[in-house]
Amino acid sequence: MTSPVDSSVLDLAPVLPVVVLSDPSDAVPLARALVAGGLPAIEVTLRTPAALDAIRAIAAEVPEAVVGAGTVITPGQVAECGAAGARFLVSPGWTDGLLAAMSASGLPYLPGVSTASEVVALLERGVREMKFFPAEAAGGTAYLRSLAGPLPQARFCPTGGIGAGNAGEYLALANVGCVGGSWMVPGDAVAARDWGRVEELARAAAGLRDAGAGCR
């Protein structure tokens, strides 16, 4: 199993690219473009049959990337992702069984939450870093700002409905470490294998850290 990341996933970059790949041969050039643009952490979602092969390829051929697995929803997937070389795990939600498997894997993980009760339940279990999903539909920046007062120990990676236009608003929040999104890997660019465009979009996204920090 690949060793986990040395620091928090939330602190690797301001934006965590959420990548859906149908062709595993696109994984390596896509990852290299994202890393060149300043986004080393990459979440490959388990939404296609190519996902595990894509994770394997990135882990083996792009050592400067920190590749993780997203849409992890079963304990079996936790084991498969670890064996493929994933260095962190992201889930849209959680159960006690899934949480136990992710914890036992030794990899950093971001379980998904969308309510205050779910956040409290995770804090009770010692988990302080979470995915807030679906961010916009679940209340967006106003909801996260409201959570910061009573639950300041929780930190989030909001994902869902976030793009270049509103990412900075999320990053300006004290309880947001990074945001997740796919706007720097648009489907048409991936289909055309326009890795130069992906790199440009990644570079712009990487610059959002300074923009967000300036508003905190």
- pLDDT tens across 199-216, in order? 999 999 999 976 544 444
CA separation for the pair 114, 129 (Å, rounded): 13
CA separation for the pair 29, 176 (Å, rounded): 29
Question: Looking at 129, 131, 169, 199, which residue is catalytic?
Answer: 131
Q: What pLDDT was estimated at residue 212?
A: 46
Q: How far is CA 93 from each of CA 58, 72, 151, 201, 208, rounded to the nearest angstrom?
A: 25, 9, 19, 28, 26
Asked whether residue 5 carries a pLDDT value surpassing 80, the answer given is: no
Give 210's contacts (C-beta < 8 A, 6+ positions apart).
Answer: none
Average of pLDDT values for 49-70? 98
- pLDDT tens across 69-88, in order? 999 999 999 999 999 999 99
* Residue 200 known to be catalytic: no
pTM summary value: 0.94
Please state, rounded to an integer, the average pLDDT across all residues of the chain: 95
Question: Looking at 43, 129, 169, 199, which residue is catalytic?
Answer: 43
| pLDDT-based confidence at residue 1 (cuts at 50, 70, 90) | very low
Average of pLDDT values for 158-185? 97
φ, ψ for residue 18 (rounded to 5)?
-100, 110
* Residue 131 known to be catalytic: yes
| pLDDT-based confidence at residue 171 (cuts at 50, 70, 90) | very high
Q: How far is CA 150 from each of CA 73, 116, 146, rounded to the nearest angstrom?
A: 28, 10, 8
